[in-house]
């Protein structure tokens, strides 16, 4: 994660590890009333790889941020990916791709004196990853 030094400015952040035989709803410690970004790293063959970048929260015309009901937590756990809610599809995808564990790092990007639009922060991380690897993270199907 050191290639993303700009994430160090976000003080409200955390992480959790998840294995395919665990409950994503139980393991996720992201806030239910905040917005921001999350990075998903997969552990495969003793190597860690950024496999997904996502965000939660929409900027409104009047300069306020509209939080998704359930915040980052809900976006990570119940967001739709691979044709179903993540709490169902992530374990299946992990088994399919032989991913032993994922580590989710989340960051609240719009709080107090720092007011970074989540989609903008997501874009920066995706761009950095693209420059380094020449492609999107494997679970980001498009951007």
Tens digits of per-residue pLDDT, 95-106?
A: 999 999 999 999
User: Which uninterrupted H or E stretch holds 10?
Assistant: none
For 61-94, b/e burial (b = at least 16 CB within 10 A) is eeeebebbebbbbbbbbbbebeeebbbebbbebb
Q: What is the pTM of this model?
A: 0.94
pLDDT in tens, the chain (143 residues): 446 888 999 999 999 999 999 999 999 999 999 999 999 999 988 899 999 999 999 888 998 888 888 999 999 999 999 999 999 999 999 999 999 999 999 999 998 888 999 999 999 999 999 999 999 999 999 88
Q: How many CA atoms lie within 13 Å of 136's alpha carbon, on the beta-carbon side?
A: 11
pLDDT at residue number 59: 87
């Amino acid at each position: 994660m050191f290639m993303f030094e700009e994430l160090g400015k976000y003080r409200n952040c955390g992480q959790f590890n998840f294995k395919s035989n665990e409950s994503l709803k139980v393991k996720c410690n992201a806030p239910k009333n905040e917005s921001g970004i999350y990075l998903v790293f997969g552990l495969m063959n003793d190597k860690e790889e950024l496999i997904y970048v996502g965000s939660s929260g929409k900027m409104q015309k009047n300069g306020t941020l509209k939080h998704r009901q359930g915040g980052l937590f809900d976006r990570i756990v119940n967001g739709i990916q691979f044709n179903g809610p993540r709490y169902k599809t992530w374990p299946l995808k992990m088994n399919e791709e032989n991913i032993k564990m994922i580590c989710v790092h989340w960051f609240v990007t719009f709080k107090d004196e720092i007011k970074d639009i989540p989609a903008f922060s997501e874009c920066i991380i995706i761009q950095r990853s693209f420059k380094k690897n020449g492609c999107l993270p494997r679970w980001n199907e498009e951007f």
